[in-house]
Structure 1
Amino acid sequence: MSIKQLGFIGLGLIGGSIVKTTKRIHPDIKMIALSGHESTVKQAYDQGLIENDTNACIEDFADCDYIFLCTPVQQNLEYIEKLKGVMKDSCILTDVGSVKGDIHQAIRNMGLESHFIGGHPMTGSEKTGLSNATAYLLENAYYIITPTTQTDPAVVSEFNEFIGSLGAIPLVLDYDSHDAATAAISHLPHVIAAALVNFVKDSDDPDETMKTIAAGGFKDITRIASSSPVMWEEICMTNKEKILQMLDVYEKQLSDIRSKITDADASGIRNFFQSAKDYRDSLAVAPKGPIKTVFELYCDLIDEAGGIATIATILASNNLSIKNIGIIHNREFEDGVLKIEMYDQPSYERTIVLLRKYHYTVYER
């Protein structure tokens, strides 16, 4: 790769994580940054992440190969206007927002389509800021890339290569398909989670019985309701049309199951839950389309010191690399306390055989 310098407008959770990941993997790439809080820039400088110890000026971005726009959408648009007359001809602007339509439209209006590749790392946390950013947040996360019709394919390929080098999985989509997909799988669930939390809050008794006994499924499905209200205000405003379309379809689903419950339609109720279970279970088994198959298994693990290390040693000594491993903290709906993800089918199958050989109880997915 020919990348020598990156610029960052914003150093929050995502921008900060890209900076930290780049520093870990490509220590020779220089990075500069501008933030709404100059103390954040100083913090990044003190950690050896960026070149500047005070906020960079717009003119300082003139030598950047890529400029990552990591502020809210409206602020990004203001910075694009400022950068337009500063960045060099070969520079590529990119963003990390979860809505792509508005920024693509703005880029088109400004005549910068050949300089833009939209981006959306499908990762994050309810926590925010540089202090919560990590050098591994992008690891094995899908990173949606939305080039314009005028972006040079060779430039898109190099950008894909860079994103892949950070440990993420680049996936190219057109921006309208991206906004429809994220409205369904990300934006609508956040609206639903917040609505459910507000419903329980408003329905609880003075002793807060619901809040006291809330656990398991309720906490799992509503965890994302702790995300930034400011961010979700903006997302609902910028992806309004797609979110409303998905809400209409979802409301019909609720109406349908309400009717089945009202009519005591046992078969219809069972089919409703069976269909959801079958599709949900398929997410970890064999997804279709451009996303590759996930090779996950679950196994029981006694809560004792060195338990995970023992399994990792067994697999490593047999030349098996683990892609992801983690404890299932809520086992209400999952078999096995330990989730292990392998890179391919042969590794997945060998892992099952090996663990069973050592008398572990393994659940295949």
Structure 2
Amino acid sequence: MSNIGFIGFGLIGGSIARILKIKEPDCIITAYSRSAQPLLEAKKDGNIDIICTSIDSSFNCCDYIFLCTPVQYSSDYLEKLKPVINESCIITDVGSVKEYIHKTVTQLDLEKNFIGGHPMAGSEKTGYSNSSPYLLENAFYAITPTAKTTDEQLKKYVDLVSKLGAIPVVVDYKQHDYSVAGISHLPHIIAGSLVNLIKDSDNSDSLMKRLAAGGFKDITRIASSSPEMWEQICMTNSSAIASLLNDYILSLTNIKRNLENHNANYIFNLFEKSSEYRNSFDDNSYGLDKAVYRVNCDIIDTEGSIAKLANLLADNHISMKNISIVNNREFEHGTLRIEFYDLIASNKAKTMLNENGYTVHEN
């Protein structure tokens, strides 16, 4: 029987606790949070067994302790946990930046008891009340061991992450921070700066804002993210972001110079190269050889059309894993993106939908 501890209990912590209680109902969950309300709510839901009002010996029996607090508080909590944990306990975190906490762990001589973690999942909503046992399902979960993490500890932690329904990815913490700076942190900065540029450049009638359509909204959607969270991320991963931002500025400067010189060949090559690389992304995979079985299906925007399609698949014993509406103009008509659990179900669905007059786009 596992004993799992939580320091902080919001969206991520609550979601992890929920799925743990489903997968292992007998596990003991001990939790501390500065706010008592989510703990009381979770205790009522049956997702917490022991509520703590401080970091004390209640955590001594824990096999794992999830540190689910803002990064700037991690040092204080690690210092408080050090004297109370048992020798085999593994402390882990859920932060999107790893170098900061790894340095603290090294300074506190806790490398034998720490493995970094970054569940790459979330929601625009926060707090335990918005947590879900399915939040981490099929999401990448970066795992960053220390220099003193044993093979046995790492294997057990990878197994735990897999139990949560996530996809474990073991990576060096510095490489992790540089990678997420490129694919997440820098794009958020670019999206925010682009939105502010349009805001400052628009006329008194807000013509740009009124004309903004799919393309602009797609590439700036992430500009709506939490300012507090992104201030913290940028401040704790500033070195990696600044390095990539410098490369990006040099790239933009080069583009600007070639535009001013009317170098059509350069501009053509810019879009050709980016198009080839973007098209190399496998839309049928979550990455790292994790296959996704998906079809895109045109659908007329009429009352009950989605329900009719879902009932058709259900009547033919085809289970859907996920369904969503395509939010871009890649397809002329309204389009549903439907995911299935395996290739057999995907192929059966394609045949069934085609036979019933639906237009199915191959992925």
Same fold (TM over 0.5): yes
CA contact (8 A) 2:8 2:34 kept: yes
- Which of 17, 20, 24 is the matching residue for 1:19? 17
- Map 1:332-347 onto structure 2 (within 5 A): 332-334=329-331, 337-345=335-343, 347=345
Structure 1: runs of 5+ lacking an equivalent: none
**Aligned pair partner of 1:276 in 271, 274, 277:** 274
Give the Cα separation in 1 of the matches to 2:331 and 2:212.
19
Deviation at 1:39, TM superposition (A): 2.3
Task: Find the residue that maps to 2:290 and give its secondary structure.
Answer: coil
Aligned twin of 2:236? 238
Taking the TM superposition and a 5 Å limit, the aligned residue runs for 1:90-109 are 90-109=88-107
Cα deviation for residue 91 of structure 1 reads: 0.9
Residue pair 2:32, 2:51 contacting (<8 A) in 1 also: no
Q: Deviations over 1:71-125 (max 9, x none)?
A: 1122112111111110111211000011111111221222211211110011112
Structure 1 residue aligned with 2:254 = 256
Q: 1:353 aligns with which of 351, 354, 358?
A: 351
- TM-score for the superposition, normalised by structure 2: 0.90
Q: State the Cα distance separating 1:331 from its structure 2 match.
A: 2.8
Instruction: String of CA shifts for 1:270-321, please: whole Å, max 9, x gaps.
Output: 3322332333333234779834344433110223455444444555566654
Q: Distance in 1 between the 2:272 and 2:336 partners? A: 25
Decide which moves more: 92-101 or 308-317.
308-317
Q: Identity percentage over the alignment?
A: 48
Aligned residues: 362
Q: Is the 8 A contact 2:31 2:48 kept in 1?
A: yes
Root-mean-square deviation (CA, aligned residues, Å) is 2.5
2:48 is aligned, of 39, 47, 50, to: 50
Q: Distance in 2 between matches of 1:138 and 1:289?
A: 16
* 1:267 aligned counterpart, secondary structure: helix
Q: CA deviation at 1:349?
A: 4.1
Using the TM superposition, name which of 226-235 and 176-185 deviates more.
226-235
Greater shift after overlay, 224-233 or 203-212?
Answer: 203-212
User: Could you say which residue in structure 1 is the equivalent of 2:328?
Assistant: 331
- Correspondences of 1:245-324 after superposition (within 5 Å): 245-285=243-283, 290-315=288-313, 320-324=318-322
Check 1:304–1:72 CA distance in 2 against 1; reply closer, same or farther (3 A cut).
same
Greater shift in the superposed pair: 78-87 or 213-222: 213-222
Q: Is the 8 A contact 2:215 2:328 kept in 1?
A: no
Alignment map for 1:97-176 (pairs within 5 Å): 97-176=95-174
Equivalent in the alignment of 1:201: 199
Offset of residue 68 of structure 1: 0.4
CA separation in 1, counterparts of 2:42 and 2:286? 40
Question: Structure 1 residue 186: deviation in Å?
Answer: 0.7
Higher mean Cα deviation, 110-119 or 258-267?
A: 258-267
The one-letter code of the counterpart of 1:272 is L
